[in-house]
């Protein structure tokens, strides 16, 4: 009897529980199938079943949003009893995967839904550009109920906008901490030390997850700082980017040393609903900041310059800008969907003696590649530097 058979027989013992957890799962004879796409299910590991829910075939045949049930003691103390909650999440083009785990694309629209991360209360300390990008995206995707969110900032500059979404607001960061199971730390790096210094120690029964999006501050430093509030603080370091707001974000994260593995699934489910999400080793964080965190600004500048070129050569401004943006989106989609090396795609546009190779020569002379590599390097080094200036 092979490994699968043992695993399968084991799972049959818990048939009812499995079917309860994965509504699409069914047992027929000595095999297990997906009711939605009729696929045979070969391994009963939870991670594989989660993966199956995200396959293009399953998504195509499913008219409901996939349901991910996670056992977690979110927001409770280490000793508290396990509590079950449900996350429903939408799948955007960036995060549909095939059975073998490789990325594929889909034309499935994201399925709107009102189900929320429940019963978690979410807090945001600092509510500027990045916090609003995340919060708006979570609300729009139906992951967070605004009435479960509390946000704080010193002024009303940003809070007013959040109030109009139904989010509770305050100028007192301690209120946010008290209210929340998951707390996003979204202040500028130079405000972090003072901000944490002003927080009160937590009740022993309250051990929330702190998700820091603050550039440069590593897990060890964050944990040391938060130890003033609670022993063994639960921390995730997250590097998001602003296109998360339109469901096309790049979010990478690292779990802290006291953070239960269950939070990996929680984070991944939340973030994959607003673009690409991946857990990465912490030493890659500064580089990820240089590329994906700061990157949208490089491309905005490129789109603006390309539009200027179009205008210079006679196109109306609005048309030039739309063509530039759509062209960038199209080229990025080609890279993601074709699986071809960008150099090969470039070669395919450059006909001998043609217009594009003439333009490529001009870009080489003006140092386009050098400029972009240097930009990523500069941002990554600055991220490292910000983390050392406490």
Ligand X SMILES: NC(=O)c1ccc[n+]([C@@H]2O[C@H](COP(=O)([O-])OP(=O)(O)OC[C@H]3O[C@@H](n4cnc5c(N)ncnc54)[C@H](OP(=O)(O)O)[C@@H]3O)[C@@H](O)[C@H]2O)c1
Residues lying near ligand X in the complex (CB under 6 A):
125-131, 152-155, 157-158, 173, 186-189, 191, 195, 213-215, 239-242, 293
In the complex, what is the shortest distance from the CB of residue 316 to ligand X, in angstroms, rounded to a whole number? 30
Q: Of 129 and 227, which CB lies nearer to ligand X in the complex structure?
A: 129
Q: Of 62 and 254, which CB lies nearer to ligand X in the complex structure?
A: 254
In the complex, what is the shortest distance from the CB of residue 237 to ligand X, in angstroms, rounded to a whole number? 11
CA of 220: how far to CAs of 102, 116, 359, 390, in Å? Answer: 32, 31, 47, 13
Q: Of 66 and 126, which CB lies nearer to ligand X in the complex structure?
A: 126
Residue 300, CB-side half-sphere exposure with 13 Å CA sphere: 7
In the complex, what is the shortest distance from the CB of residue 139 to ligand X, in angstroms, rounded to a whole number? 17
Specify the DSSP class assigned to residue 206. B
Specify the DSSP class assigned to residue 144. S
Q: Of 62 and 212, which CB lies nearer to ligand X in the complex structure?
A: 212
**DSSP output for 72-130:** E-TTB-TTSPPEEEEEE----GGG-B-TTS-B----PPPPP----SBS--EEEE--SHH
Q: Of 131 and 226, which CB lies nearer to ligand X in the complex structure?
A: 131
In the complex, what is the shortest distance from the CB of residue 305 to ligand X, in angstroms, rounded to a whole number? 20
Q: Of 34 and 176, which CB lies nearer to ligand X in the complex structure?
A: 176
DSSP 3-state assignment of 34? strand
In the complex, what is the shortest distance from the CB of residue 231 to ligand X, in angstroms, rounded to a whole number? 24
Q: Residue with the closest Cβ to ligand X?
A: 128
Report the C-alpha gap between 389 and 150 in whole angstroms: 29
Tell me which H or E stretch contains 179. helix 173-179
Report the C-alpha gap between 49 and 273 in whole angstroms: 18
By the 8 A CB rule, do 110 and 92 touch?
Answer: yes
In the complex, what is the shortest distance from the CB of residue 138 to ligand X, in angstroms, rounded to a whole number? 15
């Amino acid at each position: 009897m092979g490994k699968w058979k043992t695993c399968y027989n084991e799972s049959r013992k818990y048939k009812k529980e499995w079917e309860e957890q994965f509504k699409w799962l069914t047992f027929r004879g000595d095999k297990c199938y997906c009711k939605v796409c009729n696929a045979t299910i070969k391994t009963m590991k939870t991670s594989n079943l989660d993966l199956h829910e995200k396959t293009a075939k399953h998504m195509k045949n499913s008219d409901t949003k996939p349901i991910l049930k996670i056992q977690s003691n979110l927001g409770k103390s280490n000793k508290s009893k396990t509590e079950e909650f449900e996350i429903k999440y939408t799948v955007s083009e960036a995060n549909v995967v095939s059975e073998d785990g490789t990325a594929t694309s889909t034309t499935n629209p994201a399925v709107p839904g009102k189900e929320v991360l429940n019963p978690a209360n979410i807090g945001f300390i600092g509510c500027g550009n990045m916090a609003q990008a995340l919060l708006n995206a979570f609300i729009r995707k139906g992951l967070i109920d605004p009435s479960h969110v509390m946000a704080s900032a010193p002024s009303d500059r940003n809070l007013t906008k959040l109030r109009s979404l139904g989010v509770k607001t305050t100028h007192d960061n301690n209120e946010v901490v008290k209210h929340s199971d998951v707390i996003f730390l979204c202040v500028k790096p130079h405000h972090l030390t003072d901000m944490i210094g002003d927080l009160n120690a937590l009740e022993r029964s309250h051990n929330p997850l702190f998700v820091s999006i603050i550039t440069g501050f590593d897990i060890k430093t964050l944990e040391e700082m938060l130890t003033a509030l609670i022993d063994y603080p639960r921390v995730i370091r997250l590097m998001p980017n602003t296109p998360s707001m339109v469901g096309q974000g790049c979010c990478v994260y690292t779990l802290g040393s006291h953070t239960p593995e269950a939070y990996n699934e929680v984070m991944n489910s939340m973030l994959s609903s607003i673009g690409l999400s991946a857990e990465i080793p912490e030493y890659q964080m500064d580089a990820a900041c240089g590329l994906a965190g700061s990157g949208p600004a490089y491309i905005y500048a490129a789109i603006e310059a390309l539009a200027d070129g179009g205008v210079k050569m006679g196109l109306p401004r609005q048309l030039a800008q739309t063509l530039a943006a759509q062209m960038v989106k199209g080229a990025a989609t080609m890279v993601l969907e074709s699986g071809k090396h960008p150099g090969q795609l470039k070669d395919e546009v450059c006909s001998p003696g043609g217009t594009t190779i003439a333009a490529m020569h001009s870009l080489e002379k003006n140092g386009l590649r050098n400029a972009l590599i240097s930009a990523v390097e500069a941002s990554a080094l600055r991220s490292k530097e910000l983390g050392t200036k406490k």
